[in-house]
Homo-oligomer: A and B are copies of this chain.
Amino acid sequence: MKIGVLTSGGDCPGLNAVIRGIVRKGIRSHEDTFVGIRDGWRGLLEDDVFDMTMLDVRGLSGRGGTILGTSRTHPYEGGGPERMREVMTAHGIDAIVAIGGEGTLAGASRLVNEEGLNIIGVPKTIDNDLSGTDYTFGFDSAQAIATESIDRLRTTAESHHRCMVIEVMGRNVGWIALHAGMAGGAHAILMPEFPVSFDQIEEWVTSARDRGRAPIVVVAEGFIPEGLDEQVADRGVDNKGRTRLGGIADFLAPKIEEITGIESRATILGHLQRGGSPTAYDRVLSTRLGMAAADLAHNGDWGKMASLKGTDIVSVDMASAVDRLKSVPLQRWEEAQVLFG
């Protein structure tokens, strides 16, 4: 059996470990062969593929990025399913393992169900907002980098008696903010799921200051203060949903300084959170997901993806990963607030 592998969407620590897991497992357990598809769906649509052997995946478990390259090309662009089928036939590719996020998995699911293509998924997002899996790989690396950054910024905050506002990834969900904020000892964590008012933020910040702490505020990029949509809108939002004057932290820091009188500084971690070598946790998870995906592909379980449940790697419908956003539940939000202020 010949299996194509592609990575699609944003870079994510662990992609290379997934690829290695797929190839080693497929070759060793099933004697399958593999082709690498360059830059996600683009490579499949433009016939940009190469034979991928054990040699190509050696030493990949700890390497950041993806050796296959990635892009945001949509599977229904440029020829779409027809063209894919053509390329697959030309190379004798029996199946595709698509490693990607919500868009990729939704597209792949449709390609399976509507077009009858043979596709297996591996869920990928540093945001951890995919349903159908306990955690996604890449999330642990992102929370680790964000936590290390908070640790660093805290020393400056304390030396200068300042408030630090740290913006982490999470356009729709607050998982990175919640975990990194909890790990870093934040005095307020602000997430898209739970809009809070400036009064509330002020209370947390001044309460920390009054206890002699330098207030640390961790905010997910998608957070919007309660009742402030209009004001934010006035500042203008670019086509990626980001405010024109920088991130939300750039908006919050001067606002906090204004209402609390505490000198405040903003830091936007941005792309730092998605690059570099994955954590040990992510390497193990990625490797196991890859190996499971190789089995699913070999068994012809089209439309399935490998996912984490407790300590086990299981198989679920790709559709289940994308039917709803996995946001931070209310109970976790309440749990975390005990640590605020």
Residues of A at the B interface (CB closer than 8 Å) are: 7, 10-11, 15, 24-25, 28-29, 39, 54-55, 58-66, 69-71, 134-135, 140, 143-149, 151-161, 164, 179-180, 182-185, 211, 213, 245-246, 250, 265, 267-268, 270-272, 274-277, 279-281, 283-284, 287-288, 291, 309-311, 335, 338-339
From A147, A158, A275, name the one whose CB has the most chain B CB atoms within 10 angstroms.
Answer: A275
Partner of A179, one of B65, B161, B180, B280: B280
Chain B residues whose CB sits within 8 angstroms of the CB of A160 once the complex forms: 10-11, 69-71
Closest A-B pairs by Cβ, 7 of them: A64-B155, A65-B155, A152-B276, A152-B275, A183-B283, A147-B280, A65-B159
Q: How many copies of the polypeptide does the oligomer hold?
A: 4
| Cβ-defined contact, A267 with B270, below 8 A | yes
Contact between A275 and B147, CB atoms less than 8 A apart: no
A310 to B309, CA, bound (A): 6
Q: Can you name the residue of chain B whose Cβ is closest to the Cβ of A287?
A: B182
CB of A334 to closest CB in B, whole Å: 10
Chain B residues whose CB sits within 8 angstroms of the CB of A271 once the complex forms:
152-153, 156, 164, 265, 267
Q: Which of B153, B268, B275 contacts A275 (CB 8 A)?
A: B153
* Complex: A154 Cα to B59 Cα, angstroms: 10
Do B272 and A152 touch across chains, with their CB atoms under 8 A apart?
Answer: yes
Contact of A279 among B154, B155, B279 (CB under 8 A): B279
Q: Which of B54, B183, B277, B280 contacts A61 (CB 8 A)?
A: B183
CA of A151 to CA of B152, assembled, Å:
16
Q: Which residues of B contact A151 (CB under 8 A)?
A: 62, 275-277
Q: With A and B bound together, what is the CA distance between A152 and B63 in angstroms?
A: 10
Across-interface contacts of A146 in B (CB, < 8 A)? 280
- Min Cβ gap A133→B in Å is 10
Residues of B within 8 A of A59 (CB): 185
The smallest beta-carbon distance between A50 and chain B, in angstroms, is 15
Name 19 extra pairs, CB < 8 A, besides A11-B155, A143-B281, A148-B276.
Answer: A24-B338, A59-B185, A61-B183, A62-B184, A65-B159, A70-B159, A140-B280, A143-B284, A144-B280, A146-B280, A148-B280, A151-B275, A151-B277, A152-B271, A152-B272, A153-B272, A245-B245, A268-B268, A291-B335
| A28 / chain B contacts, CB cutoff of 8 Å | 338
Mind listing 18 A-B residue pairs with CB under 8 Å? A10-B160, A25-B338, A28-B338, A58-B211, A62-B147, A64-B155, A64-B156, A69-B160, A70-B160, A71-B160, A144-B279, A147-B283, A152-B275, A154-B275, A182-B288, A183-B287, A246-B250, A267-B270
Contact of A276 among B7, B15, B155, B185 (CB under 8 A): B155
- Compute how far the CA of A184 lies from the CA of B281 in the bound complex, rounded to whole angstroms: 11
B155 x A61 contact (CB < 8 A): no
- Considering the chains assembled together, what is the distance between the CA atoms of A158 and B59 in angstroms? 11
CB–CB A339/B287 < 8 A: yes
